[in-house]
Amino acid sequence: MSSLLEVSGVSVTFDGFKAINNLSFSIGKAELRAIIGPNGAGKTTFMDIITGKTKPDEGKVLWGEMSRSLLGMSEARIAREGVGRKFQKPTVFEDQTVHEN
């Protein structure tokens, strides 16, 4: 099965603190994954990297059938590629359909 998302060797450090150290995994087209862990485990940093908010110190993040690198893209471009994020607070646009939200 080909990967829809491939993360390889991703590391990021903030002021000397290693938030993520050599993270690698892949998600196939027919898979669903959940990111869980205690506070400070790097979950938010991981999502920030995939959505373009944070740039890692090293590693690669590839998306889609063409294995496009997300690391050089802006947050808006990543969203246009189909990578989205939903925060914990349940907020939606009331005048839009489920698909539009």
Distance separating alpha carbons of residues 83 and 70, to the nearest angstrom: 9
Domain around 12: 3-81
The answer to whether residue 27 is domain-embedded is yes
pTM confidence score: 0.81
The answer to whether residue 29 is domain-embedded is yes
Least confident of 5-14, 45-54, 71-80, 87-96: 87-96
Q: Which of 71, 51, 72 is nearest to 60 (CA)?
A: 71
CATH of the domain at 15: 3.40.50.300
The answer to whether residue 44 is domain-embedded is yes
The answer to whether residue 100 is domain-embedded is no
Question: How confident is the model over 14-58, as pLDDT tens digits?
Answer: 999 999 999 999 999 889 888 899 998 999 999 999 999 999 999
Question: How confident is the model over 78-87, as pLDDT tens digits?
Answer: 999 999 887 7
Q: Domains in the chain: how many in total?
A: 1
The answer to whether residue 57 is domain-embedded is yes
The answer to whether residue 86 is domain-embedded is no
Instruction: Calculate Rg over the CA atoms of the chain.
Output: 14
Q: How far is CA 73 from CA 5, 12, 50, 61, 89, in A?
A: 15, 17, 10, 11, 26
